[in-house]
Every structure is written in C-alpha cells, then in structure tokens.
Chain A
Amino acid sequence: MSPTQKKRLTVIALVVLGMSVATFLALQAMQSSIEYFRTPTQLASEGFDPLQTYRVAGLVRKGTVRKLEDGVTQRFDITDCENDVTVQYTGILPDLFREGQAIVTVGKFNAEPAFIASQVLAKHDENYVPNEAADAVMLAQANKCDDADGPVKY
C-alpha cells in the first residue's frame, strides 16, 4: 500500500467513524420518539396526559376479555405481568388476538382511566412453530404471567 492509499484509507475510516458517532448522537436524542410503544409499567411510573395519543403494548391478560352490552365493544386488560392497563376497543380484533398474545393498541386514556383504543395490532413473536405443536405453545403463552417475575419482554 502506497502512502497516498494509506492516507485515503485513513480518511475513509475517519468519515465512517465520524458518521457513526453523529448518527449515534442523533438517535440518542430521538430515543423516545423512535420507541414504538410504551409498556404498562412505563405508563404507571411516568403517568399519562389525557390529551395525548399513546401506543401501549402488552400481553392480553388471561380471563379479562369480555364483550360489553352493545356486542361490538370489547374490554380487556393488557399487561407486562407487572402492571395492567384496561383497554376498550370497538371493532374487529386481529386474528391473532387471544389470551397471552402481545398486542399494540393505539388510543387515548379517558377519565376512568381506561384506554380507549382506536386501533389494535397484533405483535407476533420471532418463534415459528408447526401446527402440531400449537396447543402446547398457546397454553404456555396464556399462562406466561403465572411464573413471571417482574415485567416480561415482548
């Protein structure tokens, strides 16, 4: 490698390094707005603003899903196994919606305080399982909070 080539290599390495540092700092500054959702525990510690729209994600708490009298509004708790948020949603839930499933809800808190969701999205996990093993996995998923110690990740 000739001296000019070495110099060019150093310059390129410095450019990449500088760019990485700049990006890192920019992303650090934007951290909270890049976060896609908040967990019930985060909301419990931070509190909430009734005027603001939030995305809250959690597992559907076992045994909490119920339909209200109008027949199209559902109420259920979502949890990270530490704190719960009660969600009310009018509309069709995603196919994946079931007990223990991680979901993301978009909406606002009312005075009650319940979370009035305008959108419910299912967040499927990174595990792929053949049909035959489905029942065991679903059972484990619904009971995930029974032996959880502190907030779970999803």
Chain B
Amino acid sequence: MISGAYLGLFQAPADYQQGDSFRIIYVHVPAAWLSLMVYVIMAVAAAIGMIWRMKMAFVVAICSAPLGAVFTALALITGAIWGKPIWGTWWTWDARLTSELILFFLYFGVMATYHAFDDRKTAEKAMAMLCIVGVVIVPIIHYSVEWWSSLHQGATIFAEGGPRMPADMLTPLLLMIGGFMFFYGYALFITCQTMVLKNERKSRWVREVISRNHSR
C-alpha cells in the first residue's frame, strides 16, 4: 500500500486533461471497489450463516458493515473532491452517485437492524436477511454507468479491450487496491476477534483466556 501510494502520488505521469488532480484516483477507486467487495462478502457470509447456522459467518457480516460504510464514505468524499475541479460540481444525482449513496445508507441499515434487537440470534437473522436482499445494489452500481447515461465515466480497468490507462498509472492503482484489501482483511480480523470474545464472554474458554492474560 505504501509503495502503491508512493508510485501513484509521485511517480505516475500526470493525466493529460486532468493534470495532477487525477491522482485522487489512487484513493477513490480502491475505496469504491472495496465498498462493493465488502458488501458482497457480507451477503455471502450472511447467506452462509443463514444456511449452515454458522455463528462466525454472522460475526464476519456484522463486522464488515462499519468497514464497508467507511470505504463507501471515502469513495463519496474523494469523488466529491475530484468532481469539483473536473466536472464542475461536488454532487449530482446521476445513476452512479445516487446508487453509491444508497449503498452507504444500506450499510447503516444493516448496522441499525443488528443493534435494534436485544436478542442476538434474532438480530443476526434480521441483519443477514437485509444483507442478502440488499446485494442487488452491487450490480446496479457496477453497471450504472453502462445501463444509463451518467456524468460519471465508464469503467477504465475492466473496459472492453483492456485497461484504458498506461501501465505506469495502472500498476500503482492495482497496488493501492491490493493494499486496501489487506487493510480490510486486517481490520476485519481484529473486529471479529473482539466481537467473538464479547459474544462468548460467558463461555469457559473466554474466561480462561482472560484469566491467563491477567496473570501474565
């Protein structure tokens, strides 16, 4: 991620029509990608939890929600900062921007649903159902720039006939995306660990872990 940031911010050539302001792509695109990827992971985890009644899957889903919301917010904010000098507006109600905003609210909906129930099992099931139902937004966001006319441009990396940017711009971007993925994985691991310990605080193994840490 650090090498990606360095290459992206200092080494990659400036874009011909956007100049240096295009460099915000190195935050905007990874954040937007992760906002979609995290939601898909949430929905898959929720489905696994519902089908096999796996406790850990629910934990992964609920711990992903705030992380996904942060990525979505980051994508929206950097998009606004980018949009102002290039398009001439912070915000406009085109298909891509609006659907990404809906995704942002969806993440909050998932978190609110989970915390609205006192009983954890009910909360997990309600939250998982919302995750699964909401997954239809992901293809809508991805294809919004192809299905409808929009101010947001089409796909660059997955464009027909290969990426529409030279390798010295693309490599740092892919590094940044990889870095964001590792960050998500790491953050997910820590939050899940905390949540599992909290959920199982009454069980014997957690007490043993805690007393062992205390005596050290």
Contacts and interface: CB of A to CB of B under 8 A. Distances in A.
Q: Do A and B come from one complex?
A: yes
Interface of A: 5, 8-9, 12, 15-16, 19-20, 23, 27, 31, 34-39, 57, 94-96, 104, 119-134, 137-138
B86 A96 contact: yes
A9 B51 contact: yes
Contacts of A16: 132-133, 135-136
Contacts, number: 110
A36 B164 contact: no
Given A130-B15, A130-B169, A125 B153 contact: yes
Interface stretch (B16-24, B59-67, B174-182): B16-24
A15 B52 contact: no
B89 interface: yes
Contacts of B13: 130-132
Given A15-B133, A95-B85, A120-B88, A27 B150 contact: no
Interface in B137-162: 140, 147-151, 153-156, 159
A34 B165 contact: no
Contacts of A31: 148
20 contacts: A8-B51, A36-B92, A37-B149, A37-B151, A57-B149, A94-B86, A121-B87, A122-B86, A123-B87, A123-B151, A123-B153, A125-B153, A126-B155, A128-B22, A129-B16, A129-B166, A130-B166, A131-B16, A137-B16, A138-B17
Interface size class of B (residues with CB under 8 A): 35 or more
Main secondary structure of the interface of A (DSSP, over half): mixed
B51 A12 contact: yes
B51 A128 contact: no
Given A127-B165, A132-B13, A36 B22 contact: no
